[in-house]
Amino acid sequence: MGLAGTNRFLRTLGIYLIKRNRAFRSPLGQAMYLGYVSRRMRKLDKRPPFVHIETTNVCNARCTMCSYPIMQRPKGYMSDQLYLKILRDCAEMRVADVNLQYLGEPLLDQKICDRIREAKEYGFRVQMVSNASLLDEAKARGLLASGVDELRISMDGFTPKTFEDIRVGLKFEKVKGNVERFLDLRARHRGARPRVVMCFVGLAGNQSESKQFYDFWRGKVDLVLISQARDWAGQLPLVQLGATYSTSLPRVPCNHLWEEVIVLHDGRVTVCCESYDGQITVGDVREQPLAEIWRGPAYERLRRLHRENRAGEIPLCGACKYYAIW
Ligand code: SF4
């Protein structure tokens, strides 16, 4: 294996370890992660690897682990003009991946399939995250025709009671039926696209169902992801969420600042999920190209403070346990 092959192997192994929580707790996993972080910190890509575009922040659920119920900013839908401007900005930066979701349910956006098509015309790999409660047959056919590359479905429960206690406002049987019909239509449509990922966030009330969830869905979809709840930088108590966090983990610069950008539906740009109300706003795409914001002074200041181990000077980052939640 040449040097490039070795690097590729180490990177893949590092990412695998990061994603496998248990492996990450091992000394090898932690060493790999720290190596990955320090390599990442030395180099800022010309473009963010991932751009999240919030076409709406309206949702039809009130999930117990989500910041949506405590979000204060006005709810709304992104204008066509702004959406197309963001796509142009991303294309100029040669961004490869976009996710058309942040805090809302994208299937509430009546234009979502057109928006996916527009993003595909620019050549982006398009991902979307949905609660699938509105994924009726018409929407399913629309999504399949839109060319979306990956559909992530959040479900978080294997029994109706657990699911409905957590995903407040949604019905288990309806969501499960919608997902199964979508998979059936996909099989009849053209087979492998979009890639379907079932997501389960581990909480106090559902940990006992994670294995059943995994076993049930793994043969049906392309990937099953089991993750830990985040506490939204202290806004929701970890104990209630059932997440564990390891005080033995060293605080490291936050990968979000190097790896992704979030554009809120009103055009403001923020840096991570914890900043759900735009608490950290680094720019506004209505006033500046996204490329300027990505390399601009507000973003650079955050990165510098993290590199210098002074993340605590940023109020939101100071309260954030994201680095230690596993
Ligand atoms: S440390 Fe937490 S609040 Fe700060 S950028 Fe990272 S995820 Fe966001």
pLDDT for 46 equals 78
- Give the lowest-confidence range in 75-84, 168-177, 260-269, 302-311: 302-311
pLDDT in tens, 178-225: 999 999 999 988 667 899 999 999 888 898 899 999 999 999 999 999
Residues 6+ apart with CB under 8 A from 13: 32
Does residue 12 register a pLDDT over 70?
Answer: no
Euclidean distance between CA atoms 316 and 245, whole angstroms: 18
- Residue 238: per-residue pLDDT: 66
With a 6 Å cutoff on the Cβ, whether 257 touches ligand 1 is yes
CB distance 175 to ligand 1 below 6 Å: no
Nearest to 201 by CA among 161, 150, 233, 154: 154
Q: What is the pLDDT of residue 1?
A: 46
Q: pLDDT-derived band of residue 228, with 50, 70 and 90 as boundaries?
A: confident
Residue 4 has pLDDT above 80, yes or no: no
pLDDT tens profile 262-303: 999 999 999 999 999 999 999 999 999 999 999 999 999 999
First to last CA, the chain: 33
Sheet containing strand 260-263, strands side by side: 223-228, 195-202, 150-154, 125-130, 97-99, 50-53, 260-263, 268-270, 281-284
Using a cut of 0.75, tell me whether the model's pTM lies above it: yes
Position in ligand 1 atom list of the atom nearest CA 323: 1
Tell whether ligand 1 has an atom less than 6 A from the beta carbon of residue 272: yes
Residue 23 reports pLDDT greater than 60: no
Please state whether the peptide bond connecting residue 315 to the residue before it is cis, i.e. omega within 30 degrees of 0. Answer: no
Give the residue, by CA position, lying nearest to ligand 1 atom 4. Answer: 317
- Counting Cα atoms < 13 Å in the Cβ hemisphere of 213 gives 28
pLDDT of residue 263: 98
CA distance 137 to 135: 7
